[in-house]
Amino acid sequence: MKIVILDAHTANPGDLSWQPLQDLGECAVYARTSPEELVERAAGAEVLITNKVPLGAEVLAQLPQLRYIGVAATGYNVVDTAAAKARGIVVTNVPGYSTASVAQLVIALLLELTHRVGHHADAVAKGRWAACPDFSFWDFPILELAGRTLGILGYGEIGGQVGRIAQALGMRVLANRRHWRQPPPDGIEAVSQEQLLAQSDVISLHCPLTDETRHLINAQSLRLLKPTAILINTARGPLIDEEALAAALHAGHLAGVGLDVLAVEPPRADHPLFGAPRCLITPHIGWASGDARRRLIHQIAENLRAFAAGAAIHVVNS
């Protein structure tokens, strides 16, 4: 079985091993693959592994031996799944591998926005505490989370983990999802999207990106938020109208924003949120702990092993 990994660097920049996949067949590993290199590198492969390299209908038509695409992520919009299905190509993803890591980052962003630990530690390093006439100083309001309300838009696996941590911190938790297959867990209040936006002190986005959720946070919905609210997005960048969010921040609306994702990644140098007040942006690192990436690689291999055995799992185009 000929396996080609198209963009290995992000998931494994060298600190982990591809051995679980190399054990399954002849395996070519490329750190990155440009559109110009794609067809040549994929030629003759029965298996392609991609994280962010797009595999559209035109590309798939040039790869007659391809039988399987493993997406090295949970989201699989980089693959034309309908075109793959029409050609008999199975497409799989890896759900759930980064739940704990992403939820941890949500809380890290929230704690930074409410306590400004990094800012104050930097102030100490610059000598401001040593020069202070008092035993203590702070130059941002410090907020206590206990008793405040967290709203989770998109209550799935990661949203549920965030909710459990928030409850441990003493927060009230509201949740909204499109369909509740069963009642929400104890202490989680199911509310409408409008109720959640209006009542929450903190809003955390965990929705998939669809036509319905694109620009879910826009100029109109931002007006529903409390001016003291905190907004966090570790899900998908296009859930937010970034121009509208930048305008709201510059107008003094919202106490803070924490983002780990943007609509285009990497972003352009003049992105409207760069330099916006009260806005923290991290470079899409929620999924990137060593533990999560190790689970990712092992699950990619397990998906391929199941496919080779005729019992494919985590198929997204069945």
The pLDDT assigned to 124 comes to: 96
Query: What mean pLDDT is predicted for residues 98-125?
Result: 96
d(CA 81, CA 60): 10
What are the pLDDT digits (tens) for 15-33? 999 999 999 999 999 999 9
Q: How many CB atoms lie within 10 A of CB 172?
A: 18
At residue 190, φ and ψ (nearest 5 deg) are: -80, 125
Tokens 């929705």: give the residue. Answer: 207
Query: What mean pLDDT is predicted for residues 200-228?
Result: 96
Among 121-135, 176-190, 290-304, which stretch is predicted with the lowest mean pLDDT?
176-190
pTM of the model: 0.92
The pLDDT assigned to 183 comes to: 87
Query: What mean pLDDT is predicted for residues 284-289?
Result: 96
What are the pLDDT digits (tens) for 67-87? 999 999 998 989 999 999 999
The pLDDT assigned to 257 comes to: 98
What domains, with CATH codes, occur in the chain? 2-96+290-308 (3.40.50.720), 99-281 (3.40.50.720)
SS3 content of the chain, % helix, strand, coil (to 5): 30, 15, 50
What are the pLDDT digits (tens) for 134-184? 999 999 889 999 999 999 999 999 999 999 999 999 999 999 998 888 888
Q: Which helix (H) or strand (E) holds 69?
A: strand 68-71
Residue 205: pLDDT band by 50, 70, 90 thresholds? very high
> Is the distance from CB of 254 to CB of 280 less than 8 angstroms?
no
Question: Residue 291: pLDDT above 90?
Answer: yes
Residues whose CB is less than 8 angstroms from the CB of residue 268 and which lie 6 or more positions away in sequence, other chains included: none
What is the percent of the chain where pLDDT is above 70? 100
The pLDDT assigned to 178 comes to: 87
Mark out the alpha helices in the chain (DSSP H runs). 19-22, 35-42, 57-60, 81-86, 99-115, 117-125, 157-168, 193-199, 219-222, 242-250, 290-308
The pLDDT assigned to 140 comes to: 87
The pLDDT assigned to 137 comes to: 93
The pLDDT assigned to 92 comes to: 98
> Is the distance from CB of 234 to CB of 106 less than 8 angstroms?
yes
Residues annotated as catalytic are 236, 265, 284
d(CA 298, CA 278): 39
